[in-house]
Amino acid sequence: MLLPRPSAAVVPTTAANAPVRGETGEPAIPDLGHGPRAPFLLPPLPFAARSLVPTISARTVQFHYRRHHAGYLAGLNRLLAGHALAGEALIPIIRESHGGAAPGALFNNAAQVWNHSFYWRCLAPGGGRAPGGRLADAIQRDFGGLPALREGLLANAGGQFGSGWVWLCAENGRLTLRRTGNADTPVRHPGVTPLLTIDVWEHAYYLDYQNRRADHATRLIDRLLNWPFAAAIFDAHLDRLAAAPEQPAATAPAAAVSAPLAPPRPADTRSATFSRLARLR
């Protein structure tokens, strides 16, 4: 049986209504509507389930949202009952529960709740149109243009072995590509601001595309990516940097976090190679 729908109304996501003060208090990370502490809430979808057709079917959206996303939320709230972190907001729980090389159930459920809530905001019916403003300028500066960024997203979607996520992030005013395995998420790293994500777990596409991850990623990027949402977050990220007091130069490099991925060489994006990577799943 499917889990019940949340009672909150569906609110379309646009640049105008994209919230820019987040659940950490960090201005550039959006508040996705989980509530301030446990028990956390399931944010409503920002679109009707059928509105992503033909790229993503209503059946996939319903299973993904009402079984997988809601299942992570139920698991998170159950794990937090009586836990020392129960009074914390969601992103501090993610950061404090990671636990190094082998994250446990609390981190996995908390991160997947946030990842999925963010993912839904990254999709929009009629999306995929080229961004403008400061985000467009940064894409040109850091990737050489939108076509190169598109190829980078596709190559990283194909290059992620097993389940995971592909991210466009802002770090100190510059754009980076990252991919994370399983539940891992860039929001556990202070200073890394996610702008967009693509879910490459099989449950995100298997009912519609079977093992053809490449086709799913291509159509999602071209038809659904919510660039106004990403632009609003990037503007907030830049405004936060501009408002921050100047910091003295560091005397030693900071400890490395999962390093951002360099834009791929052309050979990484050949369709035959990408198709083989997808079939290996």
Which position has the token pair 């940097």?
241
Task: Give burial (CB, 10 Å; 0-12/13-18/19+) of 23.
Answer: buried
Q: Which residue, among 84, 260, 69, 267, has the nearest Cα to 167 in the 3D structure?
A: 260
Long-range contact pairs involving 269-272 (C-beta distance under 8 Å, separation at least 24): 269/151, 269/154, 269/155, 271/214
How would residue 246 be classed by pLDDT, with cut points 50, 70 and 90? low
3-state DSSP percent of the chain in helix, strand and coil, to 5:
45, 10, 45
CB-based contact 37:76 (threshold 8 Å):
no
Encode pLDDT of 3-40 as tens digits. Answer: 333 333 333 333 333 433 445 556 578 889 999 989 99
> Cα 181 to the chain's mean position, in Å?
12
Token pair belonging to 280: 């290996």
Predicted pLDDT of residue 247: 54
Give this prediction's pTM.
Answer: 0.80
The yes-or-no verdict on residue 57 having pLDDT over 70 is yes
Predicted pLDDT of residue 27: 59
Predicted pLDDT of residue 66: 95
- What percentage of the chain exceeds 90 in pLDDT? 69
Question: What is the DSSP-derived secondary structure letter of residue 144?
Answer: S
CA dist., res. 49 & res. 58, Å (int) = 5
Q: Which residue, among 129, 145, 146, has the nearest Cα to 229 in the 3D structure?
A: 129
Residue ranges in the chain assigned as alpha helix (H): 58-63, 70-80, 90-96, 105-121, 133-143, 146-159, 206-209, 213-223, 227-243, 271-279
Which residue segments constitute the domains of the chain, with CATH numbers given? 49-243+259-279 (3.55.40.20)
The yes-or-no verdict on residue 109 having pLDDT over 50 is yes
Average pLDDT of span 229-235? 96
Average pLDDT of span 106-131? 96
The yes-or-no verdict on residue 88 having pLDDT over 60 is yes
Please give the residue that has the higher pLDDT: either 67 or 276.
67
Encode pLDDT of 162-218 as tens digits. Answer: 899 999 999 999 999 999 999 999 999 999 999 999 999 889 999 999 999 999 999
3-state secondary structure of 192: strand
Predicted pLDDT of residue 103: 79
CB-based contact 90:23 (threshold 8 Å):
yes
